[in-house]
Amino acid sequence: MFKNIYAWLDERLGFDDLYKGLLDRPEPHGNWWNTLGSASLFLFIMQGATGIFLTVYYTPSPDHAYDSIQYIMNGVAFGWLIRGIHHWGASLMVLVVFIHMLRTFFSASYKYPRELTWIIGSFLFLLTLGMGFTGYLLPFNQRAYWATVVATNIGGVVPGVGPFILRALRGGADVSALTLSRFFSAHIWMLPAALAALIGVHLYLIMRHGESAYPDADD
């Protein structure tokens, strides 16, 4: 019966073609460094899932942000686990994406015809850093607050437009409730949307061009 259901669905959706085209494609001889892109994607999905679950209890207001996280850590069953994965996964994602980028650089995989994959990947790395930057403020403890004061001040020393950048990042002159809510918005809507869209293009390009083979002695 499952075969019939599958056949019915496959006739309409074309699973098999998709599978053959996207996943069952020929690869150059395996290398563990080539798995870091998939690892990055996995971490992105994991961060997305745990992040969605955190918003069930987290409250992005200066009055409640800290308390709501204390509640997640101590009050809710497995809250410590969900937040722990999100917390450590964030650092791991920056690390894995960066090593993925180094691998691409050292294996010269950014060359023709994969320049666009590389450029989009660079933006993906910057967006990942942006996720780390905006997520760091959300616990709204002393460390989060002062880290954001310092980091937004760094934006403020840009010649000419610095003061404007500072105010735009903070939503005013000070790190305040407005900063917290705009960082929250960036962290859960804007940056993830941009990441997801660019990851889509990135994956499409990888499927289009295939993975680059490592140069051998003849090259």
Partner 1 sequence: MASSHRISRRDFVKVTTVALSTIMGAAMGIPVIGYLIDPALKVQSSEAWIPLGPLESYPIGTPKAFSFTRSNINGWEKTVNSYGGFILKKSDSDILALSNRCTHLSCSVNWDEGREEYVCPCHDAQFGSEGEVNAGPPPHALDRFETKVEEGNLFVLFPAVPHHEG
Enumerate binding residues for partner 1 (CB under 8 A).
53, 56-57, 59, 64, 67-68, 70-71, 75-79, 81-82
- Residue 149 C-beta: closest distance to partner 1, Å: 25
Query: Toward partner 1, which CB reaches closer, 26 or 159?
Result: 26
Query: Toward partner 1, which CB reaches closer, 47 or 117?
Result: 47
- Residue 200 C-beta: closest distance to partner 1, Å: 22
Q: Residues 16-21: contacts with CB within 8 Å, 24+ apart?
A: 21/207
- Residue 205 C-beta: closest distance to partner 1, Å: 25
Q: Which two tokens stand for residue 135?
A: 């997520």
Among the listed residues 211, 148, 208, 210, the one whose alpha carbon sits nearest the alpha carbon of residue 179: 148
- Residue 141 C-beta: closest distance to partner 1, Å: 14
Query: Toward partner 1, which CB reaches closer, 57 or 98?
Result: 57
Q: Give CA–CA dist 83/211, Å, rounded.
A: 35
Exposure string over 151-183, b if 16+ CB within 10 A, otherwise e: ebeebbeeeeeeeebbeebbbeeebebebbebb
Query: Toward partner 1, which CB reaches closer, 64 or 208?
Result: 64
